[in-house]
Amino acid sequence: MDDKTTASSRQTADVSSFGLATAAAAVRNGDITSEAYTAALLQRARALAELNAFITIDEAEVLAAARAADKLRAAGSAAPLLGMPLGVKDSYLTKGLPTSLGIEGLAHFVPREDADAVRAIKKAGALIFGKNNLVEMSYGLTGHNARYGQVKNPHARDHMSGGSSSGSAASVAAGLVPASLGGDTVGSIRVPASFCGVVGFKPTTGRWPRNGVAPISHTLDTTGVFARSVEDCILVDHVVTGEQAAESSDGDYGLKGARLAFAPRQFLDLVDPEVESRFRAVVRQLQDAGAEVVEMDLGRDFNSLVQTATWGIFAHETMGAISEFLRRHAIPTAFEAIYESLKPQLRQAWEHIVLPGGAGATSAEAYQMALNVSRPEIQRRLNTAFVAHGAWVILQPTTPCTAPSIGEQATVHIAGQDVSYLALANHTVSASSVGLPGISLPVGLSRAGLPIGLELDGPLGSDQRLLNLARGIEGILGAKSGST
């Protein structure tokens, strides 16, 4: 083997384990070319195609973009994401690259514009590696798509990835890309992040641009990101928002002075024993590191208040939000055509809760009550943690169980009970209900080798402090994700 071949082999060796910041620095410093890095990831994506993490990858186009990035680097560019191949959930419009929204009827639809968040990462030098698989119209939590296949969990192929940003989470966990854009309405970033063992960040609702991303609910939707470390989430947050990145702790992970809260009645009521045990062990580690942890109670009716209000808003806004999105972006289909094309169980759900007159549809009066009475009350309760107790964040297990088997779709088994799959979002829905920023960190594996997630929710607009705190906790726990 000659020196050139040896150098090339060394360049591509194990690059799938690189985090985003590490890979970006390697390209910027000339340690590896974007083309070599991208080619290695494409090879890995082919080898792991059975995960169904991507719907579309245009290999020739992404390699051409990588070569162009290398030329820009040679000409002196130091863009923060220069030459970085990122995944994008297939609910985001991508100029020149098919955008299916997860449905058959749009399999060949090619937008003429980029979603605002896609435009932001491209401006920072990123390449679109491919479009990630997702639940149809982002309506589900298991990662099942009737047309494009079930996204499989990289840690155990017979277990679900979570959803709806299923392929985004799986592709980061499997080392196919260092980061991917996703979307979250009631937990569609944080649930799959927890199941797949990666970091999933949902910003304060409205802080990241949502234009050009297929919606469910204008009240609840937000865009966000999956990565293998909090540092990488901070980098993408800086790029997308233009805000100065949160200050680095430079390896000082002390939590002295940090005040954290958790609510056992609300977030440990229906939780697998192994998940609860790991959560309590993490809380003890944070206390040992100097954090003050306060137990609190958000009220006997808190969970029912959150569930009723949030799911009601979610379903009531769907038809109008999708119809307006299709019209505004000249997408060649109609709401009615999408409805008719849905897999049977999802079409039945839409008939029940989304279509006007459905047996479970939210009335106009109940919708206004949810917006104007329930949401302020939920915020008031949460403020007891943030204001009255002075908590920086509220902690909880991100999901009440580890990733269920793929066979469990409509019903899942949690803490000895068979419950609706909607229970997978029991913990994530509260932050979504009032737009709080939230982040899920991987905090270890179950005895079966499945990831367990820790969620931190902060006050509205506290995204940078949340990210900085999460980075410190990650350092203490040694919780950075690795590829599988």
Cα(309)–Cα(368) distance, integer angstroms: 10
420 is catalytic: no
| Nearest Cα residue to 50 out of 163, 137, 174, 217 | 174
List 89, 122, 202, 480, catalytic entry: 89
List 34, 138, 161, 164, catalytic entry: 164
Which residues in the chain land under pLDDT 50? 1-13, 250, 481-484
pLDDT at position 6 is: 44
List 138, 165, 188, 430, catalytic entry: 188
pLDDT at position 247 is: 63
pLDDT at position 339 is: 98
Query: What is the number of other CB atoms lying within 10 angstroms of the CB of residue 182?
Result: 35
432 is catalytic: no
188 is catalytic: yes
Cα(323)–Cα(317) distance, integer angstroms: 10
Backbone angles phi, psi at 332, to 5 degrees: -80, 60
Q: Which residues pair with 292 in a beta bridge?
A: 259
- Predicted TM-score (pTM) of the model is 0.95
pLDDT at position 252 is: 53
pLDDT at position 244 is: 81
Backbone angles phi, psi at 55, to 5 degrees: -90, -40
Torsion of CA 16, 17, 19, 20, to 10 degrees: -10
pLDDT at position 219 is: 98
Average predicted confidence (pLDDT) for the chain: 94
Q: Which domains does the chain have, with CATH numbers?
A: 18-477 (3.90.1300.10)
